[in-house]
Amino acid sequence: MNTIAHFIKALFNNLVKRFRPEEIFFGLTTIFTVIVEYSSVVPSLFMLCLLAFYYLFFGWFMFSTKNEKHALFSIISGVLYSICLLSIAIVLLRSGYEVFFYLLQFIVLMSVLLFLFNRKTWGIYKENHYIRIGLILFLNIYIYIFR
């Protein structure tokens, strides 16, 4: 039991070091609203759009490092993540264009992954993007299978 508590504490400390508190709050709330079955998709749509707004307008602040080496990539990745989240929201609406929006997300995420793959010295900055991409993929797979 002590090892489980130690693992949870270490995981929480690692998350707090890697991500801003507001991103953790918005991200976890978005994941839980997508996973929990409501009679309506409105809560999921609202949280997805709120997180997309956050990535779109605060990506420069959230992703950049102290010495601002990656400011341009931070802005671009914020825009790309918001496109993916808005695509997930459209897929939730069952508009009939789900294949197009899944393909759009695939192209966007693969371009970010290929760009990050060549960056050898980015360290924790690169790992944070891998975590974000993994969560977007998890949401897509969950929606595709269970919704």
Tally helices (H) and strands (E) across the chain: 6, 0
Q: Retrieve residue 77's tokens.
A: 């990745």
Domain ranges for the chain, please list them: 20-146
- Four-CA torsion 116, 121, 124, 125, nearest 10 degrees: -50
Is the separation of the CB atoms in 77 and 59 below 8 Å? yes
Query: In the predicted model, is pLDDT for residue 144 greater than 80?
Result: yes
Other C-beta atoms closer than 10 Å to the C-beta of 36 total 9
Considering 30-44, 77-91, 125-139, the range whose residues carry the highest mean pLDDT is 77-91
Read off the pLDDT of residues 119-142 as tens digits, 9 standing for 90 and up.
777 777 788 888 889 999 999 999
Query: In the predicted model, is pLDDT for residue 17 greater than 60?
Result: yes
One-letter amino acid at 34 equals V
